[in-house]
Amino acid sequence: MRIVIALGGNALLRRGEAMSADNQRENVIIAVKQIARVAPNNELVIAHGNGPQVGLLALQNAAYSQVSPYPLDVLGAETEGMIGYMIEQELGNLLPIETPFATILTQVEVDAADPAFKNPTKPIGPVYSKEDADRLAAEKGWSIAPDGDKFRRVVASPRPKRIFEIRPVKWLLEHGTIVICAGGGGIPTCYDKEGKLHGIEAVIDKDLCSALLAEELSADLLVIATDVSATFIDYGKPTQKAIASAHPDELERLGFAAGSMGPKVQAACEFARNTGKVAVIGSLSDIEAIVQGTAGTRVSTHATELSYR
C-alpha cells in the first residue's frame, strides 16, 4: 500500500513534558519503531505536526531582542528540517542501510483572505497556567485559548490549497524512497498582487495538509497518529467510549473541539469522502495495528453506522 502517516506534534513532544531535544528524540524512537514494522512492501510518506516545536522556537527567538523575531513561516521551515532529521536518523537505524530517505521542505499555498487570520485557533508552544497566559498575552500581544485545564498561544490556521513540492515527492516515492514532507502542515505561503510567492504568518493544520497530501498522492491509507488511542465520545468522562469505525457523515455530526480532535476528524472525513479510501485516527504507539486494521478509529464511506471498541 501507499500510506501517508501523519505524526502529531503533541505526540512527538507529549503534553507536560520538558521541551528538550532528548525528549523529542525518545518520542521519535517510539514512532519509528512502529513505522519500521510497516515499511516492508509499502510506500511510506511521513508528515508531522510542529505545534510545540514552532512555539518553542518562537519563544527562543523572542529572547534575542537585538533583531526582529523571525516569522512563523521561517520557524516552520526550521522545524521541518529538525524533525525530519530525527525521523530519518532513527528510522534509518532500524531499516536496512540501503533504504533511501528524503526530507522535503514543503511550501503550501494558503489564501491571504482566509477567515482563519481573523480567528486564530491553532495552539502552538507549551501549556501555561491562566496567570502566565494572561501575562504573556499582555506582554506579547498573543491570542490565548484554553487547552484542557491549561492555556496555550493560538495562531491563524488557514486551509491548505496546494502543495508545491508534490511532483518531487511522487518521483521519490516511485523510486523507493521513504519521504518526510509537509512537516507542520507545510510552510505557509501565498501570492502577492505582483504574483510573487512569499511566506505568511500562520501555522497550517498538519492533519488537513496530510489529507490533501494523501489525496494528491493517491494514497491507499491515511494514518493520523496522535497521543490518544482513538476518537472518543464523552472523552474524559466516565461514559467515554472509543469509536472503532464510522461513516464521515456520522462522525462529523458528533462535533469535536476545533483546537484538538476537530481538525483530525475533519481531515479523516475529507480524505475518506474524496477518495473512497480509509483514514484512521489512533495512537502513535499503535501504528502497526492501525495498518493491520485492528486499532484506532477507521473512517470510511463503506461504514454504515458508528461502532465502538
CB atoms < 10 A from the CB of 250, how many? 16
140 is catalytic: no
10 is catalytic: yes
C-alpha 164: how far from its chain's center?
Answer: 18
C-alpha 163: how far from its chain's center?
Answer: 15
Q: How far apart are CA 3 and CA 238, in angstroms?
A: 35
Q: Angle formed by the axes of helices 206-216 and 166-174, to 10°? A: 60
122 is catalytic: yes
Which position among 8, 10, 55, 125 bears the catalytic label?
10
Q: Which of 209, 201, 158 is nearest to 183 (CA)?
A: 209
Which position among 122, 184, 259, 282 bears the catalytic label?
122
Which position among 9, 76, 84, 185 bears the catalytic label?
9
Which position among 185, 206, 277, 282 bears the catalytic label?
206
Q: How far apart are CA 72 and CA 15, in angstroms?
A: 22
Which position among 50, 264, 277, 296 bears the catalytic label?
264
Q: Which residues are catalytic?
A: 9-10, 122, 206, 264
